[in-house]
Amino acid sequence: MTHPIRVAVTGAAGQIGYAMLFRLASGEIFGPDQPVILHLVEIPPMLSALDGVEMELDDCAFPTLAGVVKADSDHLEDAFADCNFVVCVGSIPRKAGMERGDLIRINGPIFTSTGKAIEAAAAEDVRVLVVGNPCNTNCLIAMSNAPKVPRDRWYAMTRLDQNRAMTQIAKKAGQPVSAVKNMNIWGNHSATQFPDFYHATIHGNPVPEIIEDHDWLRGEFIETVQKRGAAVIQARGASSAASAANAALDTIKSIITPTPLGESFSAAVCSDGSYGVDEGLICGYPLTSDGTTWKIVEGQEHDDFAQAKFEATLQELRDERDVVRDLLPG
């Protein structure tokens, strides 16, 4: 029998976590022959809600669900014990009137303890995906507090931005979203991100050759992707949940599946200095995977417009790092 994979999800009773769990349990992500043990992690006041989530998982009778472990956020080492994947969804959301820097400072201690617990208790092959915002800097904090965990194991989610951008491009071109490839996101998962349409393709052809309205590409397209999260909140009265969960699962699938030749996917990873990004920053890049680890796609050139967009999002990442320097050991 195949040894079970252990997957921890923090904020498991929240909307994003809840939307992920059943697909993780079903065999969709890791395959129909791979058993999965889910570690459901929540703050103490939400533990009773986890009981209901566990009942629903039981009631699905998934053949691939090999067990459920419930833990509270006051006992993270128990929560992450022997886990092969940790998906960090739980964080304090931004409230009206709150500056981004305030949010970073509030969430910082959460990810300090998260990183320490992952290092202390998770499996040797653990991989960590941070979804809770601001995810790039939250990931940086957790990684910095787990120095024994290799840096190539840490990811922050930019896939939601990639998926949003792909759909906008497909609609504008009148093509199916499956025709859009290499729609990568540079920098921060924030309103400064740069969705790189220059290197994206539609049916193998560069996007700027198919979509001739370059003013739209440089203007409305980028702005729509950058502000999509706020638009969702305004429309439904709550932040993106199902689409965020879907993007997190897409990220995991892209990490564990070899990338098709000539294609790439988006995630934020620990910079090795590529493209002039400060070494150690968690920055969105175009990536490929061999099914175990990733490589940054090298050799992509940016014109003055693209470089300015990239520099703006990179500077925001530097500014966020400076806000939390006291939480970054070493």
- Residue 41 neighbours by CB under 8 Å, 6+ apart: 8, 9, 10, 11, 12, 71, 72, 73, 76, 79, 80, 90
Please check if 23 is assigned to a binding site: no
**Chain mean position to CA 263:** 19
Whether 71 has a binding-site annotation, put simply, is: no
Ligand-binding annotation for 188, yes or no, is no
Please indicate whether residue 189 is annotated as part of the active site.
yes
Counted residue by residue, the chain has a size of: 330
Label residues 233-256 b or e (16+ Cβ within 10 Å = b): eeeeeebbbebbbbbbbbbbebbb
Single-letter amino acid code for the residue at 129: L
Ramachandran class of 216: left when φ > 0, alpha when ψ lies in -120 to 50, beta otherwise: alpha
94 is in an annotated binding site: yes
Q: Is 244 annotated as a binding residue?
A: no
- CA-based radius of gyration for the chain: 19
AA letter at 296? I
Judge whether 131 is annotated as a binding position.
Answer: yes
14 is annotated as contributing to ligand binding: yes
Taking Cα atoms as reference points, which of 110, 38, 22, 138 lies closest to residue 80? 38
Question: Is 149 assigned to a binding site?
Answer: no
Q: Would the annotation count 6 as a binding residue? A: no
Q: Decide if 92 contacts 105 (C-beta within 8 A).
A: no
Catalytic residue among 3, 39, 189, 203: 189
State yes or no: 162 annotated in a binding site: no
Task: Please check if 12 is assigned to a binding site.
Answer: yes
Task: Give the annotated binding-site residues for NAD(+).
Answer: 11-17, 107, 131-133
Catalytic (active-site) positions: 189
Task: Give the annotated binding-site residues for substrate.
Answer: 94, 100, 133, 164
Task: Give the annotated binding-site residues.
Answer: 11-17, 94, 100, 107, 131-133, 164
